[in-house]
Homo-oligomer: A and B are copies of this chain.
Amino acid sequence: MSPIPSSRIPVAVLGATGSVGQRFAALLADHPWFTVAVLAASERSAGLPYREAVRWVQPTPLPEELGEMRVVACRPEAVGECRLAFSALESAVATETEEAFAAAGIWVVSNASSHRMHPLVPLVVPEVNPDHLDLAARQRFGSGRILTNPNCSTIGLTLALKPLVDAFDVEACHVVTMQGLSGAGLTGVPGMQVPDNLIPYIAGEEEKFENEAAKILGRLGDDGIAPYPLPISAHCNRVPVSDGHTLCVSIRLGRPATPEQVIEAWTAFAGEPQERELPSAPRPAIHYLPQQDAPQPRLHRDLGGGMAISVGRLRPCPLLDYRFVTLSHNTVRGAAGGSILLAELAIARGLMESDRQADR
């Protein structure tokens, strides 16, 4: 069981007007531990009520109580009492901004890619590598810390692979993605390119799979994280789906396994967030769906409130060992929700507390 915070923790959302920032706002509006105290965005938006600053594109209405909140600029001095900030910043500005927040003593849980591969920054999927959080203690940004969330497609993949890595090892992985448009942000794909089309390219995405998955599945030691040796071949595609990343995966296992054993590995899986009963932890984390045409984005992306992933169509692969399909909600589990769960995990592990005490 987790130590439930005795009062709501005030948090800031950095980059609150973008697609992921909006999702943070939607998910935090009802959160039992956190309360949105600050919505921060670019200088251009600062001073405006959030309702006017944002072009709301979420599938649920803008939370009433946030609509009238004034947006502030993304500077540490603008976030008042907040000691915790969720970052949905663009990579271009995230590096500098997040370090400034950490230097000012603020914990930053970030969805930006800037610090993911930094050797002292944990890159964490809470069910997969919660122990990597310990790496944060070695950071020297200041008295704050930077924790990161992986790329939206990597999260789904590593969560689907984790039970198989533990049980059988995974030696090779071929993945072709069909990714939702919300992953591209508000300006990523012009609306007119969407109908009757798909785009077989996402800048930088294929490289992220290989780098990030190896770090997440790696082992934390005295010298930092030793990557898990997993060759990954990725083809990334943007398809006319709003939310939900569907992955066609083929894998080679390190040890033989029957289909029943593979499915059992998934269905029996629970991670530290489930054990600690964190508020955003889905139960189960992984749904294995027996229907022959599942998972589908419209049907299954919202399982577990968008925090669970679904897997289906396990069958032998003529080239590697097994083939399957996995689906995750890219802006909930794959972005804002994943970051929130990560913050919950850090708090439940007492990291922010010990850190505060150490500061004194």
Evaluate contact between A178 and B57: CB separation under 8 angstroms.
Answer: no
CB within 8 A of A191: which of B189, B294, B295? Answer: B189
Interchain CB contact under 8 A, B59 and A176: no
Q: Which of B188, B201, B242, B300 touches A196 (beta carbons < 8 Å)?
A: B242
Asked whether A268 is an interface residue with its Cβ less than 8 Å from the other chain, the reply is no
Cβ contacts under 8 Å, A325 to chain B: 200, 235
Beta-carbon contact of B60 and A313 below 8 Å: no
Stretch at the interface among A130-138, A146-154, A314-322, A345-353: A314-322
> Hey, which chain B residues are within 8 Å of A180, CB to CB?
192
Find out whether the CB atom of A296 lies under 8 angstroms from the CB atom of B198: yes
| Secondary structure type dominating chain A contacts | loop
Contact A187 B190, beta carbon cutoff 8 Å: yes
Interfacial chain B residues near A39, Cβ < 8 Å: none
Q: How many residues of A contact B (CB 8 A)?
A: 66
Whether A231 pairs with B196 at a CB distance below 8 angstroms is: no
B197 contacts A298, CB within 8 Å?
yes
Shortest Cβ distance from residue A64 to the other chain B in the assembled complex, whole angstroms: 11
Q: Which residue of B lies closest to A182 (CB)?
A: B192
A233 touches B319 (CB 8 A): yes
Query: Copies of this chain, how many?
Result: 4
Decide if A239 touches B176 in the complex (CB within 8 Å).
no
Q: Does A61 contact B300, Cβ atoms closer than 8 Å?
A: yes
Chain B residues contacting A29 (CB-CB under 8 Å) are none
**CB distance A198 to B246 under 8 Å?**
yes
Kindly list chain B residues whose C-beta atoms are within 8 Å of the C-beta of A60.
299, 302
A248 within 8 A of B: yes
Whether A237 touches B248, Cβ cut-off 8 Å, given contacts A61-B300, A193-B191, is yes
Whether A55 is near chain B, meaning CB under 8 Å from some CB there, is: yes
| A334 on interface, CB distance cutoff 8 Å | no
- Shortest beta-carbon distance from A36 to chain B in Å: 20
A19 at the interface (CB under 8 A from B): yes
Q: Are B176 and A181 in contact (CB under 8 A)?
A: no
Closest 3 CB pairs of A and B: A189-B191, A196-B196, A176-B176
- A residues at B contact (CB < 8 Å): 19, 55-61, 172, 174, 176, 178, 180-182, 184-201, 210, 231-233, 235, 237, 239-243, 246, 248, 250, 292-300, 302-303, 312-313, 317-320, 323, 325
